[in-house]
Chain A
Amino acid sequence: MGILENKFQDNVIVASMDKLLGWARSTSPWYFQFGLACCAIEMMASAASRHDLERIGMMPRSSPRQADVMIVAGTVTMKMALRVKKLYEQMADPKYVISMGSCATSGGPYWQHGYHVLKGVDLVVPVDVYVPGCPPRPEALIEGLLKLQEKIQTERPLTRKSV
């Protein structure tokens, strides 16, 4: 906060700026168009005609550098896991991850005998919102995204976190 730090009482200016930023960030989280499996088709369906994700400010981006949210849509395999991690690291902060579908959440139907399936994407990247379903309906994904927006709104990017 620099020079402003001791001039005002903490919670007057900084907090409202925080809110303003939170509001601004929450209403346009561009998501990373990153389809892995079946869920990707539902993600496409939610972006297309009927459900139209752009209503809530979500726009697909093809490059991790331009994206705020990574929707892990589908089964993550061992071969893919390291790439997912790399893609996550390439995204600019602040970044969020939505784990879409039961495969990304826990391995789903491939949990028991899937020798090559990662049992939950949270083993490699931190996850903010889990969307259950196999595959989740577009409505479920949109609900998950709205939950994420709520979460972003409550964040205070300018307030120093107590460690």
Chain B
Amino acid sequence: MNTAEIKAAIMDQFPGSVLESEDLGESQVELKADQWFEIATFIKENPNLSFDQLECITGIDLGEEASLQTRYNFHSMEHRHKIEILISHDRKEPKVASIEKIWRIGDWFERETYDMFGIVYEGHSDLRRILCPDDWEGWPLRKDYEGQELYHGIVIPKMKEEDGWE
């Protein structure tokens, strides 16, 4: 199936869940966050779609004023088609349903995105930081991230553009 057909299949089942947008890429579909868990279950279980592979979850910061986004890449080994799903989050309170129970790898991918962006995946069984230490401050990959200056007494030197070493 191509992207338009997959999109139509989702729209049939969940009317009003697909957002229309001009600047989407070839295989991208933007969804509303509220029914995400049901839609995810649907695209996994439906025999015509059967997306069995969750390839990647990417978190994105669209800029300091704009929202955060999670992008999911799915692929179906059976039908050889793929789709990319975009879900935008509010910057102040980014949250979306977890799909850890549907694709097991979602567990670690979501933890990674949480670690880097602070997006909360509701219903995740063990949402901790995965790469940074547990007591790390801030969300490193957000555009407005300021690095820590001290970590457990270790100085993290920084370079200023004009002055050289701090």
Q: Are the chains A and B members of one assembly? A: yes
Q: Which residues of chain A come closer than 8 Å to B154, judged between CB atoms?
A: 78, 81, 118, 123-124
Stretch of B37-45, B53-61, B71-79, B155-163 with 4 or more beta carbons under 8 angstroms from chain A: B155-163
Which are the 8 A-B pairs with shortest beta-carbon distances? A115-B147, A79-B133, A78-B151, A119-B157, A115-B140, A81-B154, A123-B154, A82-B152
Residues 100-123 of A, flagged 1 when their CB comes within 8 A of B and 0 if not, give: 000000000000100110110001
Find residues 68-104 in chain A having any chain B CB closer than 8 Å to their own CB.
Answer: 78-79, 81-82
Residues 25-58 of B, flagged 1 when their CB comes within 8 A of A and 0 if not, give: 0000000000000000000000000000000000
Find residues 109-166 in chain B having any chain A CB closer than 8 Å to their own CB.
Answer: 131-133, 136, 140, 145, 147-148, 151-152, 154-157, 159
Q: Which residues of chain B come closer than 8 Å to A81, judged between CB atoms?
A: 152, 154
Per the bound structure, the CA–CA distance linking A82 and B151 in Å amounts to 10
Q: Which residues of chain A come closer than 8 Å to B145, judged between CB atoms?
A: 115
Per the bound structure, the CA–CA distance linking A82 and B135 in Å amounts to 14
Contacts A/B (CB < 8 Å), 24 sampled: A78-B136, A78-B151, A78-B152, A78-B154, A78-B156, A79-B132, A79-B133, A81-B152, A81-B154, A82-B152, A112-B159, A115-B140, A115-B145, A115-B147, A115-B156, A116-B131, A116-B132, A116-B136, A116-B140, A118-B154, A119-B157, A123-B154, A123-B155, A124-B154
Whether A119 and B156, one on each chain, are in contact in the complex, defined by CB atoms closer than 8 angstroms, is: yes
Q: Which residues of chain A come closer than 8 Å to B132, judged between CB atoms?
A: 79, 116
Shortest CB distance B152–A (Å): 6
Q: Which residues of chain B come closer than 8 Å to A118, judged between CB atoms?
A: 154
Whether B148 and A115, one on each chain, are in contact in the complex, defined by CB atoms closer than 8 angstroms, is: yes
Shortest CB distance A137–B (Å): 29
Q: Which residues of chain A come closer than 8 Å to B140, judged between CB atoms?
A: 115-116
Per the bound structure, the CA–CA distance linking A64 and B27 in Å amounts to 53
